[in-house]
Amino acid sequence: MIFAKKEKEVNVLLQQHYDKVMECLQEFKKEIDDFLKNAGEHCHELSFATHLKEHEADEIRRKIQIKLNEGAFLPFYRGDFIQLADMVDKIANRAKNVAQELALECPNVPDNIKGHMRSLCDTVINCFKELEVVIDNILQNKKIVMDGAANVSKLEQEADSIEWKAKRLIFANKELDLSQKRQLKNFFTEISGVADQIENCADRCMLIITKQVV
């Protein structure tokens, strides 16, 4: 009964952690939208809001580690869940880093590239929504986990495609100098990297379900 209680507490914390990381991504998207629409009028405020959500997610991650170290779940699962929480937390960390760089650098984004940046952020968030399905069913339904992981992979590939199209437009733009092109290229790489990290989390979940007997 004690172990069952601890496992329920970890499940609650995992959901709270996911929700907080989602809030972090949503604040990040607000900053992107504000930057593209209003020339970053509220960029620093929204960057700080993203930072706060990332910090709150980190606090929940620590609580998950404590509960797992107290004996929640079977021993051969504990390390996996600690690593999974760390990996999900890195999603928020990546978003926070891009948010801070955006507020600091204020890159020149041509009009024909703005839509790609918005689409990339939307795809990242949709990718993260699919990860919730995977995490929620990790110890309950292998089929849902596998299907969810496949959906995460498809959305990550979509993010890669948007990133590549944007980069082609960036380097074809004759009004940007080389340093501006490289700056924009790096931003798209970093935003797409959030989707890469989400896929890494889904892959970790796939490894966890291989330990299940049935």
Residues 139-173: tens digit of each pLDDT = 788 999 999 999 999 999 999 999 999 999 999 99
Closest CA to 127 of 25, 58, 15: 25
pLDDT of residue 113: 95
pLDDT of residue 6: 73
Helix and strand numbers, DSSP H then E, in the chain = 6, 0
Mean predicted confidence (pLDDT) in 48-76: 88
Mean predicted confidence (pLDDT) in 125-137: 95
Higher pLDDT, 187 or 72: 187
| Band of pLDDT at residue 213, cut at 50, 70 and 90 | low
Q: How far apart are CA 89 and CA 13, in angstroms?
A: 13
Q: How far apart are CA 6 and CA 91, in angstroms?
A: 25
Mean predicted confidence (pLDDT) in 94-116: 94
Rounded to the nearest integer, the mean pLDDT of the chain is 91
The 10 Å Cβ neighbour count of residue 105 is 11
Q: Which of 4-13, 86-95, 114-123, 164-173 comes out lowest in average pLDDT?
A: 4-13
pLDDT of residue 62: 94
| Band of pLDDT at residue 1, cut at 50, 70 and 90 | very low
| Band of pLDDT at residue 214, cut at 50, 70 and 90 | low
| Band of pLDDT at residue 3, cut at 50, 70 and 90 | very low
- Tell me the whole-structure pTM to 2 decimals: 0.92
DSSP state of 106: -
